[in-house]
Structure 1
């Protein structure tokens, strides 16, 4: 693997980690929705995404999809992402049936 391929792979992994971090930051925000840390993470996501492409929606935390945060951030970048919200709803239903719902 070339150094460029290794760097790209690291950036793709970092981007996926930033989405997880954004979900956690949102959950722990004082108002439960958004914080300055969320703003900072969003800016980092916006810096990396054009370089490596969007993280597949299937790898994104369900609450970010349900609230349209993933979609909004990409729209801000002019990147079209199609999320199968029917599939997202089925995953949420499955989680609810298991009794581990976390909005």
Structure 2
């Protein structure tokens, strides 16, 4: 009996490791997808199907083990919601992810780019004369407003949440 439980624990550990690797593969496929939205690409759909299958057996992977981009787009949460699995991503982790992504893009010298996707909106940033500006657009790229300068993206995100 003890040997069986040990074998089950080892199998579960291997499944969970495979799940972490699948999430990593999904992040890469999502990043390089040309589909709109990216998760509709064939590769992403196949990875999502495999993630759902293993998650139903092995349980959810902790959000701290997931690529930050998948947390910011809500894909991690959405996949689990479709399975009926409740996952909570701490707000501190989300804020860290936002800061990391924005800081990384700005540190690499990008003068403009996509900061985050949130439901049906996108948040873009632009750096000019040492200031960082943000703007909100819909997924189609239409820009309802101009860039506005704020201390951080939090104000833009709060405005977006209130729409």
TM-score (norm 1): 0.86
Report whether the alignment pairs 1:37 with 2:34. Answer: no
| Displacement after TM superposition at 1:86 (Å) | 3.6
RMSD, matched Cα? 2.2
Which residue does the alignment assign to 1:78?
Answer: 84
The alignment status of 1:50 with 2:56, answered yes or no, reads: yes
**Structure-2 residue corresponding to 1:10:** 14
When the two structures are aligned, how many residues end up with a matched partner? 103
State the shift of 1:38 in Å: 0.2
Q: Give the equivalent residue in structure 1 for 2:65.
A: 59
Whose relative contact order is higher, 1 or 2, with alpha carbons under 8 Å and at least 6 apart? 1
Q: Distance in 2 between matches of 1:79 and 1:96?
A: 30
1:70 is paired with a residue whose SS is helix
Contact kept, 8 Å, 2:69 with 2:97, in 1: the verdict is no
Matched, 1:93 2:116: no
SS at match of 2:12: helix
- Paired with 2:9 and 2:97, the residues of 1 have a C-alpha distance of 33
- Tell me the CA shift for residue 88 of structure 1: 1.8
What secondary structure is seen at the aligned counterpart in 2 of 1:54?
coil
**The 10-residue stretch of structure 1 (67-76 or 3-12) with the greater mean CA deviation from structure 2:** 3-12
Q: Secondary structure at the match of 2:21?
A: helix
